[in-house]
Every structure is written in C-alpha cells, then in structure tokens.
Structure 1
C-alpha cells in the first residue's frame, strides 16, 4: 500500500482558489476512480472534484466553508501500486450550477498582496482605490471578504489610497465580532456556497455599475392568442415541445438588439471600454433550491422558437439538478429574468455584471384598458422593466430599446419578419 496526496487540480480560466462547499467523503471511506470527493465553489462555478484513483481516504484537508488553493493537498489516500499523475489541465473537475462572475487579479501595493483575499475581492478593492492591508478581514485566517470591502467603502475607511504594512498574523487570525446583537430564538445561517457567491456578485454589481430603471406596460393579448395557436399546432403534429412566453420574449429582445446593439454588451472595467458583443448570448435567470442561477443560451439568434423553448427547458432543468457545465454559465451578453406568475407588478433587477443591462418580465394578468375607439376592454397586460448601467447606457436608449421590444410583443406576427 502507498500513500498518495491528491492536490486540488487547476479549476480553469485562471482561478487560483475556491470555497469547499461540501465533502462527499470522510476518513475511512473507500473510493472508486472518478468518484466525487468534494464540491468546490469558485468565482465561476461550482465544480465537483473526482478522485483520480481508487483507494481509502486517510485524511481530508479543510473544512466546509474554508478556501482551498489550487495545487494544495485536498485528500490523502491510501492506494495500491504507484501513485497516479496529478491532474493539471484546465477543466479537470466537472462544473455545475453557479452564477458566473469575473475573476481578474488586480495589482496593488506590495503589502496588500500579502493579505489573504480572493482575486475578485482584490479587483473590487483596486477599482475603488482601497488598500487591502488596511482592511480588517472577517474571513478564516483574517481573509478579507467582499463584505469587508463594502464596509470600508460605506465607512469611508482610511484604507483608501493609502499604503500600510500587512496586519500581524495574530490580528489576522482574530475573528470579527458579530455586528448584530444576539436575541432569543435567533438562528445564524452562514453565507456559503451558491448563496455566498450570489451575495458577492450582487454587491460587486451594485457598487460598480450605477443602476437606473425604466418600466412600461405591454398589451400581450395578441401574443397570448398566437402562442395558443402555435401550441395547438405542435400538439396536433404530435410534438412534445410546448412554447412558453419566454422564447417569444427572447426573439423580441434579439430583434430590438439589432437596432440598439449597445444593450448586447459587456463592460471591460480594466480597459474602461464598452465591448459590444458580436454574438447574442442570452442569460435566463433560474430559481433553484440553492439560489438564483443564470445559464446562458449561446447564439440565441440562430435558434427558432421551438429550439429556444427546448433550450430553455434543458438549461432550467440542468440548473435545478446542478448539472450545468462551465461553458453554460459564462459568456452572457444580456440577461432576462422572469418569475412568471409570482413576478409582481414590476421590479428593478440587479445587472449581471459585466453585462450592462438586465430585463425583468413580470406577471401577466387581465386588466381593463382603453382601445383605439375609446372603449374600455379587457386585455392581457404585463409590465416590462429594465435596469441599465448609466455609465454607458443613457436613459433614452434604454427606454427606446424597451419600446422596440414591446412593439414585437404587442404585434408578434412582426417577429416572423424580423427572423426572415
């Protein structure tokens, strides 16, 4: 028997560390080759780490909630024969559902580089002129977390644009005192895994992009009728596919983007450039038990209504089953979020950074409306909202874009001309 120290392999796209979300094994367990050892959450996705060989688990290194670094020992195994080669190529682990986020490493003062922090935290601090060495970390071993950077920003921390020596190890190890006084019957739920990544991404988006919102109502009566006719046609032809409203909304969005391409874009913070994307990769927000996930429909403009419907179902199911691949979570150029019948009257969703806009689709319901003849009639009405990055998208552009989308939703037959 031999002892094999299995190190965390490369996680892809320059990611250097990830949070240990869940252990699937414990000391004493026998494992087979390719059996899942642990789940690790990075700034890109949650990945499952498989065992490179069969053996018995001698020791697991790290607790759930700890940060694990690439090429550090993850599991010690007792195996038969020679130890296998360590995995080192990109994408060795398999990815499943988690929101995508940029993970570029920011440069800063030498003292700050010694501070424990994720690449995303360093980037956020650099963008706001903060010195990490001057920020008290609340994470394990004094790690500076997103919440610490936010607190420094809100409190006007003296860390801004200053250089100071790194905190002493004893200070780094001291856990932060709770900011909320305890009360009878309280339950403290740590932010971990997908929920933690959602929190970090939302904070970054709100502190990076100045949001503004715009809302307008849509008369969907003709859209409801068209969808009903097409679903009846599919059913009569023996097709299992059923069209929801989302494929029509995606098609209307794509048609509007041809006229207003700056909405189909990403913001390059480092270069301070608006990158108008050449592909139309539409993110769809999906509610899962772990939190909101945004899988991406790649090249959505190349799919017809039925293909879009099938892709929406496939990605939504994979998100809920936590079986999304890394490439299905990245590369989005615009996001549509819809809660269906629980969508409310309207909302102001948070932009999926580095995208520059997100559109919210809200509950459709029968409401009284005045027609062109001045008569009060009952129509299928729905509200559409958009949140946009005011640095690069003017209010007039966002409003015109929404009205272009509405034009196609209120007159859905025009979609077939736009797709020709």
Structure 2
C-alpha cells in the first residue's frame, strides 16, 4: 500500500488561490477514481475537484472557508501500489505539525494519564471539532439558584425522552437530569410532573437564548467583499423615475403570441426591451458604459455594451453577463438572458459568463417594491434597478385611468457621473419604453 497526495490544481488562468467551499468526503471514506472530493470557488465560479485514483481518505488539508494556494496539498489517500509519495518524505506538513504535540505528550505519561486527549486525526475522523474533554458543570455551579442547568445550555436527552416531553408540553431545560453528565431520564420527567401541572406545562412564549455562529464562506463571502468595496469607494447617487409601460406590455403580449415558422423564439419579458433601450441611450451617452479605475484615475469607456443581469440563485447573488448587447435584437437578448439564468441557477455558468460587464440591471421581479437603492457593481459607474409593475390611476387631463406603471431606481458613481447626466440617461430610457416602437427604429 502507498500514499497519494492530491494538490489543488490550476482552476483558472491567472488564479493563484481558491476558497474551499465544500467537502464531499471525510476521513475514512473510500473513493473511486473521478469521484468529486471537494469544491472550490474563485471569482464566483465554483470548480469541483475529482479524485484521480481509487483510495481511502487519510487526511484533509483545509477547512470550509479556508483560502488554499494553487499546488497546495488538500487530500492524502491510501492507495494500492506505491502511490506518488515516498514514505520518508511523503507526510504533509500539516500532519507533521499536528503530530508534534502528541509525540510531546507521549514523553510525559503522567500528564497523559491525568488528561487523556485524542489525537487530531482521531478527532477529525470522529467529526469532533475539539479534542479536549468536556468537564460537566455541577449543579452547585449554576448561576441561578434552583435552576437545573446554565442558561442556554442544551439539555441532554434521548429521542424517546424528547418525544415524551414534546407530547406532554414539557420544557426539558427546566428539568435537572440524574443520568451521566446530567442526562435526563424517564424518572426525572415523572418527578417533574409530580410537582404539579402548573410548572410542567410550557408557555408558548418561552424565551429563546440560543445563538448560532455562521461562518461566511463561499459565494456569500464574495458578495460581502464586493458590496463592501462598492459602498466604501463609490459615492452613490440614486435617481428614481416612474414609467408607463402599458403600451410596452401590449406590444410584448402581441409579440409573444406571434408564431413564425422555422423560428424558435423565447417568451419575451421586460428585460430584453430595457436592454435595447439602454443600448440606444448609451449611444448618446457612452460615458455611462464605462469602468472606473479609481486607483489609476482612469475611466475605461467601452464600445461594446456588456450588460450584467443580477440573478438570485440558491447559493446567492451572481451576475451573468450578456456580451455585446449592441449586436443583439430583442429575441436574441431574451434567449441569452434565459440561457444565462438557467446556467447561473444550476451552477454551471463559466467564469467568462460571470465577468466582463460594463453596466448592470438588477430586478427583484414581483418582489421589487416601490423603490430601491441599488449598489453599483464595482468598478462600473451605473446600475439600473427595476421595481415591480403595478396598475395605478393616472390623470390624463380629464379623468383618472388605470395604467401599468413601474419605477426605475438607478444608481450612479457621482465621482464621474453628474446628476444631470444621470437624469438625461433615465429620461431617454423612459421615452423609449413608453413609446416602444422607437426601440425598433435604427
């Protein structure tokens, strides 16, 4: 038998490190060749790491949320044959360091006998986060006189005990357990009930003192870093305008009903029309389609309009990009939005599909609210936010009539975009959306 060390492979051009976001194996597992071991993330793209050989997991080299350098050992396997590591030099550095305290403890038998501590490898294999023994608190240590356990301390009880307590309406936190380590037994419940139903029943308004610590990892950490960067560097100005989309909705419905032989067209939403309106407005104001390098003091004004579409996925917010919207018609824009949305939700979007935007659209659909304050996708200089559509009474000069209305809530980088330019841009889009025939006029 031999050992085989798997190192983090090159997961993308120019990528020097990646964040570990998922382990699909644990120490002691038997894995087959090509089985997925872990998933790492870089630039919002998740990459799975497969096993190149059959073997048994001996060691895992990182924890969820750790940043791992390309080429670093991440898994050690026991394999048939010689493996790829020489026995005398094949022990990963992390394991060697972990065993050092154990060797030191072995030289002091009296200390080891006083406080037995399992090795890190055993604790890891058993799934225990800490190898140190837990010393139960005595009831005399309780901070509140007469309380059976410390505030927030989880009661120890078997599933059968918990079921009985639930059916009887008993709060196990109020029962002092007589079993080992304070474990609650059936006789403890009997004694508690014998003291009277007035203390046995649980109020529906019981206090909850629990605190759960959740480590921010993976996509959520990327989002947090991106939002912090955007808000700390970009002075936002937000401009909100209402738009009458009644005519646009009539046109959209008519186009969706139209059938053309030999042409496979997607069902149109509002987004393709907004994208084409943005392309026309950007032609008049190209400074809105730009990236601002604030460290170098340079604005990179792009000719191609690459529109990011902020999309909510089960893992969090991602921004797939419709490249060269200026070269796409309404239906092509719609088809690309559908394709990218499906790729983002399934987690199959590539790094290229999730980068390279020059301006962004964000929409919460039916949950869009009346107005929002979108955060600019750094280093872009503008983002358009679409709020939900509502039928509102609109005065036409003689009477109120029902019209389909939406609000556009758009933010701009005030360092490079003046409020006047922002207003001109949105008013141009308003004109195009309220008179949708203009969108099709070159």
The TM-score normalised by the length of structure 2 is 0.68
Alpha carbons 1:206, 1:350 under 8 Å: kept: yes
What is the 5 A alignment of 1:241-320? 241-320=266-345
**Distance in 1, Cα, partners of 2:384 & 2:32:** 46
Match of 1:382 in 2: 406
Match of 1:352 in 2: 377
Question: Does structure 1 residue 9 correspond to structure 2 residue 4?
Answer: no
Gaps of 5+ in 2: 86-151, 153-207
C-alpha distance in structure 2 between counterparts of 1:352 and 1:28, whole Å: 44
1:69-97 Cα deviation digits (max 9, x unpaired): 21110111334567689xxxxxxxxxxxx
In the alignment, is residue 416 of structure 1 matched against residue 440 of structure 2?
Answer: yes
**Deviation (angstroms), 1:387:** 0.6
- Counterpart secondary structure, 1:285: strand
Match of 1:155 in 2: none
Deviation at 1:199, TM superposition (A): 1.0
Structure with the greater alpha carbon radius of gyration: 2
Number of the residue aligned with 1:75: 75
CA contact (8 A) 2:265 2:335 kept: no
Question: Is 2:62 the partner of 1:62?
Answer: yes
Contact 1:234–1:241 (CA under 8 A) maintained in structure 2: no
Structure 1 CA distance for aligned equivalents of residues 59 and 32 of structure 2: 16
The answer for the alignment partner of 1:214 in structure 2 is 239
Is this contact kept in 1: 2:277–2:432, CA < 8 A? yes
Q: Which runs of 5+ in 1 are unaligned?
A: 86-181
Is 1:337 the equivalent of 2:362?
A: yes
Q: 1:244, CA displacement in angstroms?
A: 1.0
Contact 1:53 1:84 in 2 (8 A): no
1:354 is paired with a residue whose SS is coil
**Does structure 2 conserve the Cα–Cα contact (< 8 Å) formed by 1:247 and 1:305?**
yes
Show the counterpart of 1:230. Answer: 255
Task: Assess, with a 3 A threshold, how the Cα gap between structure 1 residues 199 and 234 changes in structure 2: closer, same or farther.
Answer: farther
Q: Deviations over 1:39-93 (max 9, x none)?
A: 11234433222333444333221111222121110111334567689xxxxxxxx
Distance 1:13 1:405 in 2: 38
Give 3-state SS (helix, strand or coil) of 1:234's partner.
coil
Equivalent position of 1:365 in the other structure: 390
2:420 is the counterpart of 1:396 = yes
- Distance (whole Å) between structure 2 residues aligned to residue 357 and residue 307 of structure 1: 23
Q: Distance in 1 between matches of 2:315 and 2:261?
A: 38
Tell me: CA distance 1:81–1:314, structure 2 relative to 1, closer, same or farther (3 Å).
Answer: farther
Q: Are positions 1:328 and 2:353 aligned together?
A: yes
Q: Residues 6 and 365 of structure 1: is their aligned pair in 2 closer, same or farther, counting only changes over 3 Å?
A: same
Which deviations, in whole Å up to 9, do the C-alpha atoms of 1:112-136 show, x marking residues without a partner? xxxxxxxxxxxxxxxxxxxxxxxxx
CA RMSD, 1 decimal: 2.3
Deviation of 1:303 after TM superposition, in Å, equals: 1.9
Structure 1 residues 234 and 36, CA, compared in 2 at 3 Å: closer, same or farther?
farther
State the SS of the aligned residue for 1:355: coil
Q: Residues 276 and 80 (structure 1 numbering): CA distance in 2 closer, same or farther, change over 3 Å?
A: farther
Quick one: distance in 1 between partners of 2:350 and 2:51?
19
Question: SS of the counterpart of 2:303?
Answer: coil
Residue 368 of structure 1, CA deviation: 1.1
Change (3 A) 1:83 1:314: farther
Cα drift, residue 26 of structure 1: 2.1
The alpha-carbon deviation at position 294 of structure 1 amounts to 0.8
Contact 2:3 2:78 in 1 (8 A): yes
Q: Which structure would you say has the larger RCO, counting Cα contacts within 8 Å and 6 or more residues apart?
A: 1
Distance in 2 (alpha carbons) for counterparts of 1:308 and 1:349:
23
Alignment of structure 1 residues 72-111 onto 2, 5 Å = 72-80=72-80
| Cα deviations by residue, 1:301-359 (Å, 9 ceiling, x for unpaired) | 22222222121111111111111111111101111001111101110110111111110
Q: Give the whole-Å Cα distance in 2 for the aligned partners of 1:322 and 1:238.
A: 29
**1:188 partner SS:** coil
